[in-house]
Amino acid sequence: MNSVIGENLTVDSEPARKAPRLHPLGVRFMHWTNAVAMIIMITSGWGIYDDYVIFHGTHFPPALRLGSWAAPSLLWHFAAMWLLALNGLAYLVYGTVTGRFKQRLLPIRWHELMQTLGDSLHFRFTHEDLTVYNAVQKLLYVVVILAGIWQVLTGLAIWKPVQFSAEVALLGGFQAVRLEHFIGMSIIVGFLIVHVALSLLVPSTLWAMIGGGPRLRRTAVRT
């Protein structure tokens, strides 16, 4: 016999199902797949960039490039792009359909953002409840998701400037698109530096992305 006790709890003859973890297995899989794909794309991209630098007088040092010259860099780039795009698409669909994006990343409130930024700059990193993202986290994740989409769009324009000539024209021309692709990469690299540093400063976040993290609190349970 079922009887409703609390708002979200029911008691019946079957054992209650455990609440889901902060990072379900699918999320963790997609996260680490994305990490590998992004690192390959960035470092092979640096190898491609060095073949004709945009910023005179500088280039990425060979030790940081994936591919000993441009041709292997291109091979890596055009292979990993499939991994990045398909995994990224799966993540976007998952995040939308399960409501995860809405739950985790929105809303971002200005005063919370200023508060958290202030804390961070004073090195006050606490994260008692991993299941609630602070405003800076939310902003960073939204930015990197948008940057990833931007890289795919500008990347397609560089790859196919005739087939996608309308897109190239919209973005300001071929060399402009190269610069835009470079800027998107810079944003993602900036994110990576902050993201990795913070996850090492608060290691429980790292374990959470490996093992799944804490179970979500009952009252917060949705779909």
Partner 1 sequence: MAAKRFPQPVRVGDLIGRRILEPLESRPVLGSVMAVVREPPQTLAIVMKCGGFLGFGGRLIAVPADALGLLGNELMLLDFTPAQLDAFPTFAPDHAVVVAADEQIRMGLAHPAH
Partner 2 sequence: MQRRGLLRGGLSLGALTMLTGCDVSDSTSVGKALNWVSRWNDRVQAALFDPNKLAPTYPASMILKPPKFNAYFDITQLKPVDAQTWKLELAGLIADKRPWTAAQIAALPVRTMVIRHICVEGWDYIGGWSGPTLRSFLERVGADLSAKYVAFKTADDYPSSIDMATALHPQTLLATQYAGEALADPFGFPLRLRMATKLGYKNPKWITAIEVTNRYPGGYWESLGENWFGGL
Sign of CA dihedral 173, 178, 183, 188: positive
Q: Which of 204, 193, 197 is nearest to 23 (CA)?
A: 204
Q: Are 43 and 66 in contact (CB under 8 A)?
A: yes
Considering only residues 80-139, where is the footprint of partner 2 by CB under 8 A? 82
Considering only residues 8-67, where is the footprint of partner 2 by CB under 8 A? 39, 43, 48-52, 62-67
Helix or strand or coil: residue 78? helix
**Interacting partner of 58 out of partner 1, partner 2, none (Cβ under 5 to 8 A depending on kind):** partner 1
**Interacting partner of 15 out of partner 2, partner 1, none (Cβ under 5 to 8 A depending on kind):** none
Closer residue to partner 1 (CB): 32 or 52: 52
Cβ burial 154-181 (10 Å sphere, 16+ → b, else e): bbbbbeeeeebeeebeebeeeeebbebb
Min CB(175)–partner 2 separation in Å: 7
Regarding 160 and contact with partner 2 (CB under 8 A), the answer is yes
Min CB(156)–partner 1 separation in Å: 26
Regarding 163 and contact with partner 2 (CB under 8 A), the answer is yes
Q: Which of 24, 46, 67 is nearest to 213 (CA)?
A: 24
Length of the chain measured in residues: 223
Closer residue to partner 2 (CB): 130 or 206: 206
Q: Are 177 and 164 in contact (CB under 8 A)?
A: no
Considering only residues 35-74, where is the footprint of partner 1 by CB under 8 A? 50-53, 56-59
Residues that bind partner 2 (CB under 8 A): 39, 43, 48-52, 62-72, 74-76, 78-79, 82, 160-163, 165, 169, 174-175, 178
Residues that bind partner 1 (CB under 8 A): 50-53, 56-59
